[in-house]
A and B are shown apart, each in its own frame.
Chain A
Amino acid sequence: MKIAQEEIFGPVAALVRVKNLEEAMATVNASRYGNASTIYTSSGGAAREYRYGVNCGNIGVNVGIVAPMAFFPFGGRKESFFGDLHGQGKDSIQFFTDRKVVIERWM
């Protein structure tokens, strides 16, 4: 269903039933977007599996808005981001600079 796949950008939640964690992760990874995703659980193992396998730039474990602090990079994957260096953090310093390499011998 489109309403569960397309960006709506409004106060609308789609509630979808899935069988297990595997199906949940497959559903997330089938999306053309890859910005953020969250798992609510009290199992460290499930959280680890989710964090490892979900193809998004930002993962929340019992945290619903995964907004990175200024000293971490912020950016998504797939159609949520075009480019390579993300905003904020060290990525930002690299985006705004170029490394000049010098080889030096004094004779």
Chain B
Amino acid sequence: MGQTCRNYIGGKWVASASKEVNKLTNPATGESLGEVAMSTADEVRSAIGAAHKAFPEWRRVPPLTRARYLLRLRDKLEEEFDDFAAVVTREHGKAIDESRGEVRRAIEMLEVAAGIPSLMQGYNSEDIAPGIDEYAIWQPLGVFACLAPFNFPAMVPFWFFPFAIATGNTYVVKPSPIVPLTMQKAFELIEDIDLPPGVLNLVNGGPDAANVLMGSREVIGISFVGSSAIARIVYKTAAAAGQRVQAQGGAKNFLTVMPDANLDKAIPNIMTSVYGCTGQRCLSGSVVLAVGDTYAELKRRMVEAASRLKVGNGMDESIEMGPLTTPAKKKSVLDWIAVGESEGAKLVLDGRKLKVAGLPDSCFIGPSISMR
């Protein structure tokens, strides 16, 4: 059972010829979800080629007409909202309501990018000298691509491609090979909106595919989201190839709690910040700074609230926190906790002991709190 992911190139679904595949697993249940091939360099080049070929016609489509395609896709996402969110939870693990939030964000990107007729209007100055006018027009440039992360399989590609195609560019999406099923679903919906072939393309793959996109003279710019170490490499590599780059890296977000904070309201907010999406987001709070005499009370209430969070299969509506997305990601978190202990940190809440009834524990870890 399970799905074999395909590429979507020039308006057609195509199977990859690559023998290198990633097995896909539901991190909560251990169920096999299928597999994804790491596309060959030629396959990536053919996606770039399709986008390149589509650009001259697409840029001539009036912005308002381009916007209508986005609104059609918005309607498709609304129709398939729950199914789409379920794909995210099955392959990523996050609680279903968090997946719904992510799909809602994707829809909002389409809605905002649909304002493109006003958003890309230029500006002008009349009579810069007698009888001479000067003006600026905003023009699309060609093929853009994104290298998307595993933590928001639906939302992150939508941060970029709606704006890219609204402005008249064409696009290649490369999802994370850990969670490629969400974009399979998204592109099934994209297929239904009748975009001209090649305007939006999908290629699956890992670092090799990314390197083809970053080395291509036909790719104007790269959008990346991931760790700081990789963001730095993407920035250097793509810039060296003369591409525009926006590369979002990692984070360590501090939550400062003042003595005059309203803890009744702050505690649930801190819980969502730290434990939402199982901490796998670049906006997660991860250090809580207790200012002055708030420390003892804050510690007591955080431990109490965090130990009540319900952890399990994100498809269950009552679950507040799902698993981490892969066993390797769980191992990495366990390693960090061990580093903390070796430095003298104490776990006042230890999620390593967590067992979820009826589910394999390969990706689960409970809410944890460390202190000096």
Contact = CB atoms under 8 A, between A and B. Distances in A.
A104 B132 contact: yes
B120 A82 contact: no
B289 A24 contact: yes
Interface string A33-68: 101111111110010001000001010001111110
A102 B122 CA distance: 11
A12 B372 CA distance: 14
A86 B101 CA distance: 21
Interface range, B side: 35 or more
Q: Is the interface of A mostly helix, strand, loop or mixed?
A: mixed
Contact of A80 (B140, B169, B228, B281): B228
B159 A87 contact: yes
B290 interface: yes
B57 to A, nearest CB: 17
B276 to A, nearest CB: 7
B251 interface: yes
A5 B252 contact: yes
A1 B122 contact: no
A63 B269 CA distance: 7
B333 A82 contact: no
A32 B252 CA distance: 8
Interface stretch (B46-54, B80-88, B340-348): B340-348
A90 B330 CA distance: 37
Interface in B335-370: 336-337, 339-340, 343-345, 348, 351, 365-370
Nearest to A94: B138
A10 B140 contact: no
Nearest to B161: A96
B139 A82 contact: no
B336 A18 contact: no
B175 to A, nearest CB: 16
Contacts of A63: 269
A76 to B, nearest CB: 6
Interface of B: 105, 108-109, 111-113, 116, 119-120, 122, 128, 131-141, 144, 151, 159-160, 163-164, 167, 169, 221, 223, 227-228, 231-232, 234-235, 244-258, 260-262, 265-266, 269-270, 272-276, 278-292, 295, 298-299, 302, 306, 321, 324, 329-330, 332-333, 336-337, 339-340, 343-345, 348, 351, 365-372
Given A3-B343, A12-B369, A76-B249, 20 more contacts: A3-B336, A11-B321, A11-B366, A13-B369, A16-B287, A33-B251, A35-B252, A35-B282, A38-B256, A38-B273, A40-B258, A41-B258, A65-B284, A65-B285, A74-B159, A76-B282, A80-B228, A83-B247, A93-B163, A101-B136
